[in-house]
Chains A and B, each alone.
Chain A
Amino acid sequence: MIKLQHVSKSYSAGIPALNDVNLEIEEGEFVFVVGDSGSGKSTLIKLLLKELDPTEGEILINGKRLGAIRHKQIPKFRRDLGVVFQDFRLLKDRNVYDNVAFAQRVIGASVRESRKKVPQMLSMVGLAAKYKSFPKQLSGGEQQRVAIARALINRPKILLADEPTGNLDSNNAWEIMKLLEEINERGTTVVVVTHNMEIVKVMQKRIITIQKGVIISDVNGGEYEN
């Protein structure tokens, strides 16, 4: 599903952000990517979204070679990926419903289809009652739920989460993780970049550790040490 072969990424000069990374994530997996800040985690997410191109190596997602995707085809490619961020990135001047429906509009879905799917998605993330609220009226956890609903409404096969609990308190962080786990159980491949080690240790999932651009360990939750 996701495959990196000898992937390196260097910015203009200096030490590479990622150095000869080899990685394979199967369909339906739940994977944590951990590491200190500056370890190359965010670069990895950007490479997977094709926001950046690797300096060397090859990335395959859903069987597609990212290097072969032309600029014009990038939008279509991204529709197979859902993505959520630490800072939620909601549209502040639109309510919960419109924020989620926005993702439908972007891909050209009909209003009728949105009317059916948006409430479904909102009730899945537990926000059906707050569909009229604006982002600033919601707690951080609720905002992240909206972002997740938006990421999933177009039914991507993969959900990428970049520090999804970074701005949340412990309770909210746990709720979001539970939600991501539920989503994974329904068949979506989930990749979570985080430095919240407490959660990572308890959840018992696959854990990939990056340090200075290199994968230093790739283990299942039970075997994780440190």
Chain B
Amino acid sequence: MFSLASIATMSACIFLFGLFFAIVTNFQSMVKEAESGVAVTVFFEPGITQEQIEAIGNEIRGRAEVSDYQFVSAEEAWMEFKEDYFKGHAEAAEGFAEDNPLANSASYAIYLSDVSMQPVLVDYLNGLEGVREVRHSATVANTLSDFNSLIGYISVGIILILFLVAIFLISNTVTTGIAVRRDEIGIMKLIGATDSFVRAPFIVEGVLIGLIGAILPLLLLYLLYNKIVVYIGAKFSFLSNLINFVPVDKVFHALVPAALVLGVGIGFLGSRITIRKHLNV
């Protein structure tokens, strides 16, 4: 009876954890996506040689925080500019035909694997020979990395609270179990049962509660996740451009071990702490 109640509450806790985990995963994926669009652009000193540009490229490639970089030649820059600003007025651009106004605008567009490392990279790039200017948006980078750590703090906070609640619940169950089986425990001790023999059933019970209490909500979340994604997509179609949901398999790849470890760990800890407190064996 009591085990059922605590399996239910444990399930509720892990369910909330899973829900939160799924939301955070999606949020982080959105942030990551936004991050990947944030680039640092490096322009070169006039008259720089192709070899020097390549040397700078090699330096950039060697940096750990760089996920990708692209060389944009002056011609490409001009083409892009024309595309953006002279669309439908090709003849206006023709005037520049032989004289690329962006002749000194060859650049590297550098993408970061971790936006919070942007200032470090910018400092480094500024120190390189042949670099005229490093253009970056500190605001975007800072906002994204702040947002990322905020999500981190909130997740840790909520998981901690859930963790404590669940330990308290398991502890209650075990306390009741000890009360119900006090006679049996007394008999065991008089017959000469060792401490671990008396403790074992309670530990096993706690761990089982944790295990079942983790598996049930995982199954439920698995079933619900896709439905919710489809529902949100249909109901709030304007969001579908903004949000790319993380596929269910990817979420569960990390969620399943996390929930199982959490469930079993809480079950084990909760019962062990309580037995030590109440059983005096």
Say whether B190 contacts A49, CB under 8 Å: yes
Say whether B193 contacts A89, CB under 8 Å: no
Say whether B183 contacts A154, CB under 8 Å: no
Q: Which of A72, A76, A89, A91 contacts B192 (CB 8 A)?
A: A76
Q: Tell me, yes or no, whether A78 is within 8 Å of chain B by CB.
A: yes
Q: Tell me, yes or no, whether A126 is within 8 Å of chain B by CB.
A: no
Say whether A106 contacts B195, CB under 8 Å: no
Say whether B184 contacts A75, CB under 8 Å: no
Q: Mark B53-82, 1 if CB is under 8 A from A, else 0.
A: 000000000000000000000000000000
Using C-beta atoms within 8 Å of the partner chain, give the interface range for chain B: 10 to 19
Say whether A106 contacts B186, CB under 8 Å: no
State the CA gap A103–B187 with chains docked (Å). 9
Number of interface residues of A (CB under 8 A): 17
Least CB distance from A76 to B in Å reads 7
Say whether A89 contacts B183, CB under 8 Å: yes
Q: Tell me, yes or no, whether B231 is within 8 Å of chain A by CB.
A: no
Say whether A103 contacts B183, CB under 8 Å: no
State the CA gap A76–B196 with chains docked (Å). 13
Q: Tell me, yes or no, whether B153 is within 8 Å of chain A by CB.
A: no
* Contact partners of B197 in chain A: CB under 8 A: 75, 106, 108
Q: Which of A72, A77, A78 contacts B191 (CB 8 A)?
A: A78
Binding site for A on B (CB under 8 A): 183-184, 186-195, 197
10 new A-B contacts, CB < 8 A, other than A89-B186, A107-B192, A154-B192, are A75-B194, A75-B197, A78-B189, A78-B190, A78-B191, A91-B183, A91-B187, A106-B188, A106-B192, A154-B191
Binding site for B on A (CB under 8 A): 49, 72, 75-79, 83, 89, 91, 102-103, 106-108, 150, 154
The 6 A-B pairs of least Cβ separation, nearest first, read A79-B192, A78-B192, A106-B193, A75-B192, A75-B194, A106-B191
- 6 example contacts (A-B, Cβ-Cβ < 8 A) are as follows A75-B189, A75-B194, A78-B192, A89-B183, A91-B187, A106-B188
